[in-house]
Copies of this chain bind each other. A is one copy, B any other.
Amino acid sequence: MTLSGARIALLIEEMFEDGLVLTPRQLLMDAGAQVVYVAPLVGRGYRGLSGTIVTADMAAGAARAEAFDAVVIPGGYAPDRIRLRHAMVDLVRDTMAAGKLVAAIDHGPSVLINANALRDRTLTCWPSIAVDVKNAGGRYMDRQVHEDGNLITSRKIDDVVPFTEALIRQVAARRAAMA
């Protein structure tokens, strides 16, 4: 399969938007990738806004950017909590600094603000944080999916399939280039 051997970190905290976690995970797994739920505490359950419980596969403190093909930051209100978790912000910062893939949807780009990773980058997001993205030096666009080099962003749940497809395409292209 396209993403056979790929490992994707999916960041988890309380109040994630369920479909922004479950749909990317399913599509990535369908493409052959291993999806690793990375959260503050390994083995703990985290609840989505609609009640889905996901159990963390790995503590953020144990997650290294080198171990993953990409980091996904989902939406809902989880990003408001993720941005307070130093180990999770560090993982995003290190992944961006290494030029590796980061995919963020809905409120997910707010974590990139804390990682100080948006200066002169072009991206989209949920409109409530557009002003924060701009104040952090990013260039905001209202688009279904925007790809700016290693940074893939989308606005909301309606965009989740093309968002994940863009991620799958980029992971596959990078793995093909390295093969």
Q: Footprint of B on A, CB under 8 Å? A: 77, 80-81, 83-84, 107, 110, 113-114, 127-128, 131-132, 135-136
Query: CA separation between A49 and B163, bound complex, in Å?
Result: 29
A77–B84 Cα distance when bound, in Å, is 16
* Chain B neighbourhood of A107, CB < 8 A: 80
Copies of this chain present: 2
Within the assembled complex, what's the spacing in Å between the Cα atoms of A114 and B132? 9
Q: Which residues of B contact A132 (CB under 8 A)?
A: 110, 113, 132, 135-136
Minimum distance in angstroms from A2 CB to a CB of chain B: 36
A128 to B110, CA, bound (A): 10
Rank and list the top 3 A-B pairs by shortest CB-CB distance, nearest first. Answer: A135-B135, A132-B132, A80-B128
A131 to B93, CA, bound (A): 15
User: Can you report 20 residue pairs joining A to B where beta carbons are below 8 Å apart?
Assistant: A77-B77, A77-B80, A80-B107, A80-B128, A81-B128, A83-B128, A83-B131, A84-B127, A84-B128, A110-B132, A113-B131, A113-B132, A113-B135, A114-B131, A131-B136, A132-B132, A132-B135, A132-B136, A135-B135, A135-B136
